[in-house]
Structure 1
Amino acid sequence: MDYLSLEAFLEEGKAALTKSPVAVILVEDLVAVDATIQHHLEAGFRSVIVLAPPALTLPPAMAAAVHRIPYDMRAPEAMSRAMNRIIAACPETTWLYYCYNAEFLFHPFCETRDVREMVTFHTEERRDAMLSYVVDLYAPDLNTHPNAVCLEGALLDKSGYFALARTDENGHGLERQYDFYGGLRWRFEEHIPPARRKIDRISLFRAQRGLTLRENHTFNIEEYNTYACPWHHNITCAVMSFRVAKALKTNPGSSHSIHRFHWYNSVPFGWNSQQLMDLGLMEPGQWF
């Protein structure tokens, strides 16, 4: 279903926000949009909301399966403004997920268990948010794929990930919070502003009154920003993303300085959850 604006959706299509879990796809350009939408429809989300440029066209069956809203993702703070409007309109029972185009959610055992089963288990563990690592994908040959997006031959870094303790404005450590780094943001950090070098994102979370999402992908309620509860490890997931590779190769400030992303720690992405668990890029916690 199409809407004239985000305001129109929040008035006319608000019922979609009661069908938890809800996926929100933020479309920055027209690269791999159909693949992104299809992946998340198949993941088991009960509602899929697409905020996209008006120029986007979708196959009829796909257009009928999503809620499409015209939205300018190039505007300042576009992500947080849209998400916070949606969060405020949701019942407190609604689980939300957000990503950009050319990003794909993977969770433990996603081949046999859908996202509804996962958030049900996570809720039973008294968790309202789930940490995800945004793992960079990139094309093996930038001559063949100049925008760095190649779904069939995607590569990822098998190592080079690390974490640093997160501190508050006074330099005090925050309990169960880390800043995670790695991938292209680490290898090409000279082209990435310091504030955008982290790869952690709370991609899945439950709406709550007063909850707000910041532009740095953290929340105003600190417990939402933790990687696990105090008593044991929890599920984490991964967002497999071409977004950084695409930006590095389309941004005039970095494009001509980068001739390849492939290096000795590159491996083909198998598009399965076991590979990501084996590499330590997500874990099942107590969900066996």
Structure 2
Amino acid sequence: MRYTGLTEFLKSAPEALAKGPVGMIFVEDLVEVDTTIRHHQNAGFRELLVFAPDALELPKGLEQDVHRIRYDLSRDGALEHAVNRVIDAAPGLWLYYCYNAEYLFHPFCESRSIGELLAFHTEERRDAVLTYVVDLYADDLDQHPNAVSLDNAWMDKSGYYALGRKDADGHVHERQLDFFGGLRWRFEEHIPAPKRKIDRIALFRAKKGLQLLPDHRFNDEEYNTYACPWHNNITVAIVSFRTAKALKSNAGSTFDIHTFKWYNSTEFDWSSKQLLDLGLMEPGQWF
């Protein structure tokens, strides 16, 4: 179903926000949009909202299965604006957001749905899931000049680290960390400092007054924590070609980068086990 904008969608399709989890996919370009949609359908989201420009063409059958909303992501704050309007319209619902060419993985996703994960997380009295954005990149940039190849996707197997997150007064936030690594770390000279973090709260439960901030945090500090006070919780990963695409499409960086591979690169096998083994997500108490 197509909508001329977010306002029309919120007015005419309240049933789409009746039961979660609901996924939001924000289309920045026309790369791998269909595979992004299908991946999240298979993950178990009840509804998918696709925020996309008119230039996007989807297979007819696929477009009928999603709520396609005309949207311009080039405006400042466009993503936060859309997410926050959906939050206001869907209190109590579990929501998720990502960009095209990004793919969510959670522990044991080959045999357990996202709904099962969120049911357990809810029982643990948690309303948000820390998400690591793990960079993917094509192995051969001559063959794949936009750095995207699902069949030949590579990732960094090490080089990730975390620092204590401080508030404006220099005090460290309890149970909050800033996470770094991947291409944003290795090519940091091409990445503005505020954009270098790889953590995101991509899965969360909407509530009245909740607001997504420009740096992928929320205005409720508990939502930004990696675990509850008494034990570790589930974390998930989004494997993403987004940074690689940007580095190869930006005139200021593309000519400096001939390959993303290095001695700590490993081929991504599209399994949750690989991400768990590398410590890029964890099951917490969910076995």
Q: TM-score range by the shorter chain?
A: over 0.9
Map 1:59-138 onto structure 2 (within 5 A): 59-92=59-92, 94-138=93-137
How far did residue 144 of structure 1 move?
Answer: 0.3
Q: What is the deviation of 1:100?
A: 0.2
Residue in structure 2 matched with residue 185 of structure 1 by the alignment: 184
Deviation at 1:8, TM superposition (A): 0.1
Distance 1:18 1:138 in 2: 37
Displacement of 1:177 after TM fit? 0.1
**1:35 shift after superposition:** 0.4
After TM superposition, give the deviation of residue 60 of structure 1 in Å.
1.1
C-alpha distance in 1, partners of 2:91/2:125? 17
The aligned residue for residue 21 of structure 2 is: 21
Q: Say if 1:104 and 1:241, in contact at 8 Å, map to a contact too.
A: yes
Give, in whole Å, the separation in 2 of the partners of 1:178 and 1:152. 33
Q: How far apart are the structure 1 equivalents of 2:101 and 2:280? A: 19
SS of alignment partner, residue 69 of structure 2: strand
Aligned Cα root-mean-square deviation (Å): 0.5
Deviation of the 1:14 alpha carbon: 2.1
> Match for residue 146 of structure 2?
147
- The answer to whether the 8 Å contact 1:135/1:183 transfers is yes
Alignment of 1:269-280 (within 5 A): 269-280=268-279
Matches within 5 A, 1:209-228: 209-228=208-227
TM-score (norm 2): 0.99
Matched, 1:266 2:262: no
Is the CA contact (8 Å cut-off) linking 1:18 and 1:91 kept in structure 2? Answer: no
Distance (whole Å) between structure 2 residues aligned to residue 167 and residue 13 of structure 1: 41
| Counterparts of 1:228 and 1:139, CA distance in 2 | 33
Q: For residues 271 and 111 of structure 2, what CA distance do their matches in structure 1 show?
A: 11
Q: Per the alignment, in what secondary structure is the counterpart of residue 126 of structure 1?
A: coil
CA distance in structure 2 between the aligned counterparts of 1:253 and 1:100, rounded to whole angstroms: 23
Encode CA deviations 1:226-273: one digit per residue, 9 max, x unaligned.
000000000000000000000000011111111110000000001000
Q: 1: CA distance between counterparts of 2:128 and 2:91?
A: 15
Structure 1 segments unaligned to the other structure (5+ residues): none
Matched AA of 2:51:
L
Deviation at residue 200 of structure 1 after TM alignment: 0.2
The answer for the alignment partner of 1:251 in structure 2 is: 250
The equivalent of 1:196 in structure 2 is: 195
Task: State the distance in 2 between where 1:177 and 1:56 align.
Answer: 38
TM-score with structure 1 length normalisation? 0.99
**Partner Cα distance (2:214, 2:167) in 1:** 17
Equivalent runs, 1:227-242 vs 2, <5 Å: 227-242=226-241
CA displacement at 1:99 relative to structure 2: 0.2
In the alignment, structure 2 segments of 5+ residues that lack a partner are none
Distance in 1, matches of 2:195 and 2:249, equals 17
- Cα distance, 1:220 vs. partner? 0.1
Rounded Cα–Cα distance in structure 2 between residues aligned with 1:169 and 1:250: 34
Equivalent position amino acid for 1:248 in 2: L
Identical residues among aligned pairs (%): 64
- Give the superposition deviation at 1:57: 1.1
How many equivalent pairs are there? 287
Report the secondary structure of 1:256's partner residue. Answer: helix
**What SS class does the counterpart of residue 165 from structure 1 fall into?**
strand
Deviation per CA, 1:126-167: give whole Å up to 9, x if none.
000000100000000100000000000100000000000000
Cα offset for 1:91?
2.7
Q: Distance in 1 between matches of 2:282 and 2:18?
A: 28
